[in-house]
Amino acid sequence: MCGIVGYLGHREAYPILIKGLQRLEYRGYDSAGIAIYDGETIKMSKTKGKVSDLIDCVKEEIDTKGTLGIGHTRWATHGVPNKVNSHPHYSNSGNLVIIHNGIIENYETLKKELTKRGYAFHSDTDTEVLVNLIEDIQIKEKIKLGKAVQVALNQVVGAYAIAVFDKNKPNEIVVAKLGSPLAIGIGDDEFFIASDASPFIEYTKNAIYLEDEEMAIIRRGKKIRVRKISDDSLIDPYVQELQLNLEQIEKGGYEHFMLKEIYEQPSAILDTFRGRLLSDQAIIKMSGIEDNMKRFLNAPRIIVVACGTSWHAGLVSEYIFEDLARIPVEVEYASEFRYRNPVINENDVVIAISQSGETADTLAAIKLAKSKGAFVFGVCNVVGSSIAREADAGAYTHAGPEIGVASTKAFTTQITVLTLIALRLARAKGTISSSDFRRHLLELELIPEKVKTALTTDDIVKTIANVYKNSRNFLYLGRGYNFPVALEGALKLKEISYIHAEGYPAAEMKHGPIALIDEHMPVVVIATNKGHYDKVVSNIQEIKSREGKIIAVVTKGDTAVKELADYVIEVPETIESLTPLLTTIPLQLLSYHIAVMLNKNVDQPRNLAKAVTVE
Ligand code: F6R
């Protein structure tokens, strides 16, 4: 997956493009490039590395004058990350320049055809094939750029968000989208192009999100023309007013986005239930659920599809739905579900969870479920994202932009939304008493304050991080509602500190992982006083007798675990189903501090991207 930006207007394009690329680096950061056109010369600079490396290259290589430009930050799919494979790419004549996010699946076949027709390729990318295909069509059929793009895209199999311009058309950029996101910001006599709205938020609040199979011709001083790629029909685009503000997407004094986002959780959770949880009236109001209540109540089961951290939130929801609403739940990795010919019935409800709303596997799982007649409900953070639009109905998490690659506030706000849904369904089904329902609502309302208290463990967590930062392996154990938290804690550590970590249900330890335990193994155990406390204490004893190092997350005031553990981290008491919202906080902090102490790139860990829009 990659980030794309573009500008066409009256200002110098370069600073807008560079700042935009920096905001989009969460989408990929193994190489970056820009092309600027001043009406006479196209100036291109690209490099392996980050946008900061690109800035150095630009200083040495090109003058940046020009009011038309495009830029790209890459997460390699076809071809290793290097200068040649970086975008933008020229066509063979040097007239066309393109940037692309996505994958052209039939690029080998197209490349063979073009090679036969005399085209030469300098990179290993599918994108260079696409730009030459457009050029070939343009020359062969003697048609304008927009038309040539349309004809070319009808020959392409795959996913794309592209922006392309022609040296002979200094006032025009053509964009198109299928499967990868593309937003167009509309200012006064100027246009911005980007993978999401963050690059242009300080310039305009008006944006068009292209739908799949749509393309737009953007011309200086003219109205945007949007067309359907397949049949050329004109479309009247919907211009949205953006709710995002600049402060939300900047670091706000924190050293890293991840830390900022960890600390934003009290307000993010509050935003998630604001207007939905009305404890004074003892109701939960979510239009996506109310409007589709029958489908939920008639569903023989709920299938949850998601990836990574969102999958862990799905696992937590399995406990909540089954426990409170007595609805059977199956939680599936979207990547497995989409390819394993699953049994899906018309009455099934599929809940797709995704922070970005762009994860390719989750999107494909939704499409499969819909094709079998299931009702799909999306739980997304990014408003207007592909999954949010593809789902039949949904609920946003309202966590605000999550920029750090490691998901933090997305996880807790997803759990909050899923808890609200489970409680609402439980009430409608009568599987929860009114007093228990009210108790849950009141307790949920206290969670933001309790998360704040959980955040005060930062100092002890830092001490623990310092002690164990050089460990080669970590084990994370939890039971019941906190088993998925153990998985999530391990994932956080792996992805940003590159330390091997495994999460396990605490009782499973004796079926294998216990063999790993010796004096070098730190074991993080979630042992709150709810759930299977005594059993977890026994597991802790088993670790202790094998000399493992115990870091325990306990409920405030705990005494039994304190006697056994090397370190305890106390979180406030709450009802069992809400404990994941608190126990996950010190685990996020632990991975953060270890990664910082090991000098790792916390916000942009190696090999990862914020939204995985490829398989
Ligand atoms: C982990 C992480 C990934 C994502 C996964 C799904 O910190 O960020 O595991 O959770 O790629 O992404 P979304 O939720 O955007 O579908």
Alpha-carbon span 300 to 347, nearest angstrom: 7
Q: Which of 385, 612, 614 to mutate to test the pocket of ligand 1 (most atoms within 8 A of CB)?
A: 612
What residues make up the domain containing 485? Answer: 456-615
Same-domain pairing of 355 and 213: no
Q: Which atom of ligand 1 is nearest to the CA of 405?
A: 8
Q: Which atom of ligand 1 is nearest to the CA of 308?
A: 9
Alpha-carbon span 313 to 1, nearest angstrom: 23
Q: Distance from the CA of 518 to the center of ligand 1, in angstroms?
A: 32
224, 208 contact by CB (below 8 A): yes
Same-domain pairing of 237 and 265: no
Which of these three, 200, 219, 248, is where a domain ends?
A: 248
pLDDT tens column, 262-307: 999 999 999 899 889 998 899 999 999 999 999 999 999 999 999 9
Alpha-carbon span 389 to 210, nearest angstrom: 11
- In the predicted model, is pLDDT for residue 124 greater than 80? yes
Same-domain pairing of 468 and 450: no
Give the CATH number of the domain where residue 70 resides: 3.60.20.10
Q: Distance from the CA of 53 to the center of ligand 1, in angstroms?
A: 27
- Burial 232-271, CB ≥16 within 10 A → b, else e: eeeeebeeeebebeeeebeeeeeebbbbbbbbbbbbbbbb
How far is C-alpha 494 from the chain's CA centre? 17
Q: Whose CA is nearest to atom 5 of ligand 1?
A: 308
Q: Distance from the CA of 33 to the center of ligand 1, in angstroms?
A: 26
Q: Which of 309, 413, 604, 613 to mutate to test the pocket of ligand 1 (most atoms within 8 A of CB)?
A: 309
Q: Distance from the CA of 379 to the center of ligand 1, in angstroms?
A: 13
Local confidence band at 315 (pLDDT 50, 70, 90 cut-offs): very high
pLDDT at residue 1, rounded to an integer: 64
Local confidence band at 143 (pLDDT 50, 70, 90 cut-offs): very high
Q: Distance from the CA of 312 to the center of ligand 1, in angstroms?
A: 10
Same-domain pairing of 450 and 463: no
Question: Which segment of 48-62, 312-326, 524-538 scores lowest on mean pLDDT?
Answer: 524-538
pLDDT at residue 585, rounded to an integer: 98
- In the predicted model, is pLDDT for residue 520 greater than 90? yes
Which of these three, 248, 282, 302, is where a domain ends?
A: 248
Q: Which atom of ligand 1 is nearest to the CA of 359?
A: 16
Q: What residues are labeled active site?
A: 2, 610
Give the CATH number of the domain where residue 340 resides: 3.40.50.10490
Same-domain pairing of 175 and 293: no
Same-domain pairing of 402 and 365: yes
- In the predicted model, is pLDDT for residue 480 greater than 80? yes
- In the predicted model, is pLDDT for residue 314 greater than 90? yes
The encoded tokens of residue 547 equal 């000399």
Alpha-carbon span 292 to 287, nearest angstrom: 8
Same-domain pairing of 226 and 364: no
Other Cβ atoms within 10 Å of 334 Cβ, number: 27
Q: Which atom of ligand 1 is nearest to the CA of 407?
A: 7
- In the predicted model, is pLDDT for residue 31 greater than 70? yes
Same-domain pairing of 395 and 418: yes
Same-domain pairing of 218 and 230: yes
Local confidence band at 310 (pLDDT 50, 70, 90 cut-offs): very high
Same-domain pairing of 529 and 450: no
Tell me 242's DSSP state. P
Write the DSSP assignment of 129-193 as a string of letters: HHHHHHHHHHHHHT--HHHHHHHHHTT--EEEEEEEEETT-TTEEEEEEEBS--EEEE-SS-EEE
Q: Whose CA is nearest to atom 3 of ligand 1?
A: 308
217, 234 contact by CB (below 8 A): no
Q: Distance from the CA of 455 to the center of ligand 1, in angstroms?
A: 22
The encoded tokens of residue 271 equal 């935003």
Instruction: Write the CA distances from 475 to 461, 490, 546, 583, integer angstroms.
Output: 16, 7, 14, 16
Q: Which atom of ligand 1 is nearest to the CA of 611?
A: 15
pLDDT tens column, 542-600: 999 889 999 999 999 999 999 999 999 999 999 999 999 999 999 999 999 999 999 99
Q: What residue ranges line ligand 1, CB within 6 angstroms?
A: 307-310, 354-356, 359, 362, 406-407, 491, 495, 611-612
Same-domain pairing of 394 and 274: yes
Q: How many domains does the chain have?
A: 3
Q: Which of 355, 608, 614 to mutate to test the pocket of ligand 1 (most atoms within 8 A of CB)?
A: 355
- In the predicted model, is pLDDT for residue 2 greater than 70? yes
Which of these three, 248, 271, 290, is where a domain ends?
A: 248
Same-domain pairing of 370 and 514: no
